[in-house]
């Protein structure tokens, strides 16, 4: 009996991606000759390698499920996409049995192992990570590559969340309960966000487990509405790449940022409280760490609030943690 799931809706496909560590997907069409030729091999791989909650094989008819096909930019059939923890990790275009078999067997073996939960990243739990904005075509959420053991956060109020809170996979509690909660309601919640302490500035150091190509940052801020004392959303943000450690506030002001961003009110999604910060991609290749400096907030308040942060791009080779070289620390400099 076939183990392959035939997807009948976008919602079913999203649920499938969240229910299995690895999902192998065949995007096909009934009229496609090569699709028919490779179909028996795909079914054989499905029968051999399917594992409940670990490895799932799916088929998506692109003519019937146009929304899914458009979401993933399918332009040729067959196209095979392999997802791991809801992220695209491999794409194979065309009927290439050898390439498909090698890729699927490699990911299936990884899925059977314990994964990277002990490595300092987020491990398997990242499969259900909430996103407050859509992904740019060709890129994925690589937040699971954050080395949470090395995070550093300056000027955060200890009465709220920590640096790890920003990378939690769950939807912010303010969205679960509805935006615009009162202060008393906030105090009763888990306070799963970060607020600044003495002023509006915040400094966050983010090391990665592998070198990344960083395309976009998603920053979510959900201050309650109608409260004059509520914290502000970030406005001016400076991003520094490949620093060896967190920057001091005075040090950051004296250093040229890799990129500086000024967010406008229209940049924030009113439903999710998320702004997409598109980086100059050429400047964020082979990134082993980021420093995100919130310089000021949107308004005249004294504090800034950040609920979630997501890193969007491409992951590369694993690096040996603890051996990050600061830019400029070359011999003779």
Q: Which residues are catalytic?
A: 32, 35
- The DSSP bridge partners found for residue 274 are 220
The rounded distance, in Å, linking the Cα atoms of 39 and 59 is 10
Three-class DSSP category at 297 = strand
The rounded distance, in Å, linking the Cα atoms of 149 and 291 is 15
111 close to 54: Cβ distance less than 8 angstroms: yes
Report DSSP state, residue 156: B
Q: In sequence order, which residues have a C-beta less than 8 Å from that of residue 239 and are 6 or more positions away?
A: 217, 257, 258, 259, 260, 261, 277, 279, 290, 291, 292, 293
Q: In sequence order, which residues have a C-beta less than 8 Å from that of residue 245 and are 6 or more positions away?
A: 152, 205, 326
Nearest to 133 by CA among 7, 221, 21: 221
């Amino acid at each position: 009996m076939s183990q392959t799931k035939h997807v009948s809706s976008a919602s079913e496909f999203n649920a499938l991606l969240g229910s299995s560590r690895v999902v192998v997907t065949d995007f096909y069409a009934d009229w496609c000759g090569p699709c028919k030729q490779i179909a028996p091999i795909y079914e054989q791989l499905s029968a051999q390698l399917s594992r409940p909650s670990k490895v799932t094989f799916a088929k998506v008819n692109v003519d019937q499920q146009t929304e899914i096909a458009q979401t993933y930019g399918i332009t040729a059939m067959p196209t095979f996409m392999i997802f791991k923890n809801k992220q695209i990790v491999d794409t194979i275009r065309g009927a290439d049995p050898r390439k498909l078999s090698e890729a699927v067997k490699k990911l299936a073996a990884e899925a059977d192992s314990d994964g990277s939960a002990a490595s300092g990243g987020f491990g398997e739990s990242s499969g259900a990570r909430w996103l407050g904005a859509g992904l740019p075509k060709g890129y994925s959420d690589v937040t699971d590559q954050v080395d949470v053991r090395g995070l550093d956060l300056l000027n955060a109020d200890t009465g709220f969340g920590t640096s790890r809170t920003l990378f939690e996979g769950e939807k912010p509690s303010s969205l679960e309960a509805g935006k615009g909660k009162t202060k008393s309601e906030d105090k009763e919640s888990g306070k799963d966000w970060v607020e600044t302490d003495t002023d509006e500035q915040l400094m966050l150091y983010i090391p990665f487990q592998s070198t990344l190509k960083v395309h976009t940052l998603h920053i979510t801020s959900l201050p309650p509405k109608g409260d004059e004392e509520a914290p502000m959303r970030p406005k001016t943000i400076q991003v520094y790449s490949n620093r060896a450690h967190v920057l001091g506030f005075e040090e950051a002001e004296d250093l040229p940022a890799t990129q500086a961003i000024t967010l406008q009110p229209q940049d924030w999604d009113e439903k999710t409280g998320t702004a997409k910060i598109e980086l100059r991609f050429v400047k964020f290749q082979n990134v082993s760490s980021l420093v995100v400096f919130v310089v000021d907030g949107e308004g005249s308040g004294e504090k800034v609030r950040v609920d979630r942060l997501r890193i969007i791009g491409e992951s590369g080779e694993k690096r040996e943690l603890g051996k990050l070289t600061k830019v400029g620390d070359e011999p003779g400099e």
